[in-house]
Each structure stands twice: as C-alpha cells, then as structure tokens.
Structure 1
Amino acid sequence: MSRSSRPSMRDVLKPLELLALAAGMGLFTGVIALMSTRDIVIALIGFGIAFIVALVLLAMFALSIAPTDEEKRDIAEQDGPSSPH
C-alpha cells in the first residue's frame, strides 16, 4: 500500500469524532435528566435516546456534504478501469 493511498489521520478519526460528539450530547442530556429527576434509570434512558438521535443526525449531516474534488478523484480511482460500469 503506497503512502498516497493510505487514509489521512483526519479521515481515520472522523468516525471517532462523531461518536465522541454524540456521546457528549447524550451525556449532557443524561446529566440534566439526573439532576432534575434524581432517577438514574431516567437519566440512562435520556442518555441513550439522545446519543442515538445525535449519532443519526450527525451521520446524516456528514453524508449530506458534497464530496470535494480530491474525494471525487479518489472515488474514480477506486472504481478504476476494472469496473463493469
């Protein structure tokens, strides 16, 4: 595998960034629910729901961004001449 075909560190960490951001949003919601109700079950449910909703929304936003010229070239390179299309 050549150096140019390896994904950059930013590309590798992008999914982890999305997970961390969603976990942060879920944690915030869980802490607010815990402070207002003092019930750990409700706080965990709030954390879980907020985490899943935030993760889905962040993934949808990430998919809605148009690819750059470099990404388009990479996609075309990966398809290559061996593609039946």
Structure 2
Amino acid sequence: MTAEGQQPDPASGAERDPGEFTPRTFQPSRKDRLRPLELIGFSAVMSAFVGLVVLLSTREAVVALISFGVAFIVVLVAIAMFSLTFKPDDAEIADIDEQDAHGA
C-alpha cells in the first residue's frame, strides 16, 4: 500500500501488507506554514500602533522603541495564550488519534 503521492517500489514486485505501517512525511498546507507569520505580523502591527501613539505623545524615540518592544512581546504572549484555549475539531482529533496509534 502506498501513501498519497508516492509510487510503489518497483523492486518489491508486489504491494505491501495492508497492516504494515509505512511512514510518510507530513506536508503542511500553505495556510499551516504561514500561520506563525500571521501571528507575528499581527503582533508587529499592534505594537507599531502602540509605538506610534507613544512617539506622537512623548516625542521621545527611545521611549517609543521601548514601548514598541514591550507591546510586541505582550501581544505575542497574549495571542499564544488565546491560541491554547481553542479545542481541536473532529479532523484534528482523528489526526491526533492516528498519530498516537502509529507511534505506540
């Protein structure tokens, strides 16, 4: 039995036993690969807003840069905490169960 997108081994001459586990490499979708960049980008935009407000309020570039850095870290940690609260849907649960069954 072959995994998606893989060709059978011509040297074997036959299909593998269906009960035998053949590991395949997981290819994440483009959305899955860009998700961390979306979160970092959102954090950067929010912290840029904070930095701009502080810069326009105080006219101190150093204070604005410090505020930008602090806001970036705070927003990034807040987003990470919120993302931990989401429960997986049925497809993710099935994928987790499949990985657990083959890993044991």
Above 0.5 in TM-score?
Answer: yes
Q: Distance in 2 between matches of 1:35 and 1:63?
A: 35
Give the SS at the match of 1:28: helix
Matched to 2:53, the amino acid is: I
Q: Quick check: 1:10 aligned with 2:31?
A: yes
**Between Structure 1 and Structure 2, whose CA radius of gyration is higher?**
2
**Which residues in structure 2 correspond to 1:14-25 (within 5 Å)?**
14-25=35-46
One of 74, 82, 91 as aligned partner of 1:53: 74
Q: How many residues are matched?
A: 83
Gaps of 5+ in 1: none
Moved over 3 A (4+): none
* Percent sequence identity over aligned pairs: 49
Structure 2: gaps spanning 5 or more residues: 6-25
Name the CA distance, whole Å, in 2 between partners of 1:73 and 1:13: 23
Give the number of the structure whose residues are more often helix, by fraction: 1
Matches within 5 A, 1:1-85: 2=4, 5-83=26-104
Cα distance in structure 2, aligned partners of 1:36 and 1:50: 16
Taking structure 1 as the reference length, what is the TM-score of the superposition? Answer: 0.87
User: Greater RCO between the two (CA within 8 Å, min separation 6)?
Assistant: 1
CA-atom RMSD, angstroms? 1.9
